[in-house]
């Protein structure tokens, strides 16, 4: 269950293609993407910006998606229940006096900012 919940961090913002793209084109796209992530100018810009860039290969992302999509129904239902509880806690916190007195600062992570 933790794997499903934490997968978003591992996925990040993946580049995806629609189903049915021929394998040779997928390979071309993956090779170009991987090459761009090793580009010295891009790496230098990421370092200058103090950003975090941990890339995954297309094969790794595809494998993770397959793993997520084949979870047993009970795992999916438990994750849905946790998400529902989290949303309710978010709402309760925002309605509480603590939110008005001590809202999260812009530079602090806001664990309650789930849309």
Indicate whether 44 and 80 sit together in one domain.
Answer: no
Indicate whether 44 and 65 sit together in one domain.
Answer: yes
Indicate whether 85 and 114 sit together in one domain.
Answer: yes
Q: What is the pLDDT along the chain (115 residues), one digit of tens a residue?
A: 666 665 766 777 778 888 899 999 999 999 998 898 889 999 899 899 988 887 888 888 888 888 888 888 888 888 888 888 787 777 777 677 666 666 666 655 555 444 4
- If one counts the domains in the chain, the total is 2
- The pLDDT assigned to 114 comes to 45
Indicate whether 66 and 40 sit together in one domain.
Answer: yes
Indicate whether 57 and 96 sit together in one domain.
Answer: no
Assess contact for 37 and 114: CB atoms under 8 A: no
- The pLDDT assigned to 57 comes to 84
Indicate whether 17 and 67 sit together in one domain.
Answer: yes
- Say how many CA atoms lie within 13 Å of 40 toward its Cβ: 0
Give the residue numbers spanning the domain of 85. Answer: 73-115
């Amino acid at each position: 269950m933790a794997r499903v919940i934490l997968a978003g961090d591992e996925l990040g913002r993946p580049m995806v293609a629609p189903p049915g793209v021929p394998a040779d084109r997928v390979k071309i796209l993956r090779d170009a993407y991987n090459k761009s992530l090793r580009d010295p100018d891009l790496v230098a810009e990421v370092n200058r910006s103090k950003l975090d860039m941990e890339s995954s290969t297309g094969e790794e992302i595809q494998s993770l998606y397959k793993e997520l999509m084949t979870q047993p129904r009970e795992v999916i239902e438990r994750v849905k229940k946790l998400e529902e509880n989290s949303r309710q806690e978010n709402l309760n916190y925002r309605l509480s006096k603590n939110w008005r007195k001590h809202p999260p600062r812009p530079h602090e992570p806001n664990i309650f900012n789930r849309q």
